Chains A and B, each alone.
Chain A
Amino acid sequence: MIPELGHLALILALCLAIALAVVPLFGNATSQLRLQVAAHPLALGQGCMLLLAYAALTVSFIMDDFSVVYVVANSNSALPLPYKFSAVWGSHEGSLLLWVFILSLWTIAVSLLGKRLPLLMQARVLAVMGMISSGFLAFTLLTSNPFKRYLPDAAIEGADLNPLLQDFGLMIHPPMLYMGYVGFSVAFAFAIAALMDGKVDAAWARWVRPWTAMAWGFLTLGIALGSWWAYYELGWGGWWFWDPVENASLMPWLSGTALLHSLAVSEQRRLFKSWTLLLAILTFSLSLLGTFLVRSGVLTSVHAFATDPERGYFMLLLLVLCVGGSLVLYALRASTVRSRAVFNLLSRETCLLANNILLMVALAIVFLGTLYPLFLDVLGGERISVGPPYFNVLFVPIMALLLLLLGIGINVRWRAMPSQRLMHLLRQPLLWALGAGFAWPWVYAGAFNASVALAGALLVWLLATSVADLRQRVQQQNNAGSVWWKLGASYYGMLLAHIGIGFTALGIVMVSHYSVEVSLRMAPNDKVNVGGYQFIFDGVKSIDGPNYSSIQAQVQVLKNGSVQQILQPEKRHYNAGQQVMTEVAIDAGLWRDLYVAMGEPLAQDSWALRIHYKPFVRWIWLGALLMAFGAGSAAWGKRHRFILLPVAQTRHKGINS
Chain B
Amino acid sequence: MHLKRKRKLQQLLLLTVGSGLIIGLILYALSENINLFFSPSEIASRKAYPVQRIKVGGMVREGSLERANDSLQVSFMITDYQHDLVVYYDGILPDLFREGQGIVAQGQLQADGAFVADQVLAKHDENYMPPEVSDAIEQASAAANATTEQTDL
Q: Which residues of A contact B (CB under 8 A)?
A: 162, 164, 234-235, 300, 302-304, 361, 364-365, 368-369, 372-373, 382-387, 389-390, 393-394, 519-521, 580-582, 597, 599-600, 602-603, 608, 610
Contacts and interface: CB of A to CB of B under 8 A. Distances in A.
A386 B34 CA distance: 5
B70 interface: yes
Interface stretch (B24-32, B109-117, B140-148): B24-32
B92 A519 contact: yes
Given A394-B25, A519-B91, 4 more contacts: A386-B34, A390-B34, A581-B95, A582-B95
B45 interface: no
A646 B22 CA distance: 40
Interface string B18-55: 00001101110110111111000000000000000001
Nearest to A602: B67
B33 A386 contact: yes
Contacts of B29: 390, 393-394
B149 interface: no
Given A368-B27, A394-B29, A610-B92, A385 B55 contact: yes
B124 A164 contact: yes
B91 to A, nearest CB: 5
A251 B95 CA distance: 30
A390 B30 contact: yes
B33 A600 contact: no
Interface string B41-82: 000000000000001000000000001011110000000000
A162 B33 contact: no
23 contacts: A300-B123, A300-B130, A302-B124, A302-B125, A303-B125, A304-B125, A361-B22, A364-B23, A364-B26, A368-B23, A368-B26, A369-B30, A372-B34, A383-B36, A383-B132, A385-B34, A386-B34, A387-B33, A390-B33, A394-B26, A520-B72, A521-B71, A600-B92
Contacts of B23: 364, 368
Contact of B35 (A302, A385, A394): A385
B17 interface: no
A519 B91 CA distance: 6
A372 B93 contact: no
A539 B96 CA distance: 23
Contacts of A597: 92
A387 B92 contact: no
A602 B70 CA distance: 10
Nearest to A393: B29
B100 interface: no
B99 interface: no
Chain B: interface residue count, which band? 20 to 34
A384 B37 contact: yes
Contact of A364 (B22, B32, B34): B22
A302 B95 CA distance: 13
B36 to A, nearest CB: 6
A169 to B, nearest CB: 15
Contacts, number: 85
A603 B130 CA distance: 29
Contact of A368 (B30, B35, B97): B30
| Interface hub of B26, B123, B130 (most chain A Cβ within 10 A) | B26
Contact of A608 (B27, B55, B72): B72
Contacts of A600: 92-93, 97
B49 to A, nearest CB: 14
A386 B30 contact: yes
A480 B58 CA distance: 73
A643 to B, nearest CB: 40
Contacts of A521: 70-72
Contacts of B72: 519-521, 599, 608
A608 B30 contact: no
Nearest to B68: A521
B124 A580 contact: no
A385 B124 contact: no
A440 to B, nearest CB: 29
A645 B72 CA distance: 68
Contacts of B91: 519
Nearest to A297: B131
A7 to B, nearest CB: 28
B70 A382 contact: no
A234 B124 contact: yes
Contacts of B92: 519, 597, 599-600, 608, 610
A286 to B, nearest CB: 17
Contacts of A602: 67
Given A300-B130, A383-B37, A610-B92, A390 B69 contact: no
A581 B95 CA distance: 7
A390 B25 CA distance: 11
B134 to A, nearest CB: 11
A304 B131 CA distance: 12
Interface in B84-136: 91-93, 95-97, 123-125, 130-132, 135
Contacts of A303: 125
Contacts of A164: 124-125
B135 A383 contact: yes
A579 B27 CA distance: 40
Contacts of A384: 34-37
Nearest to B97: A600
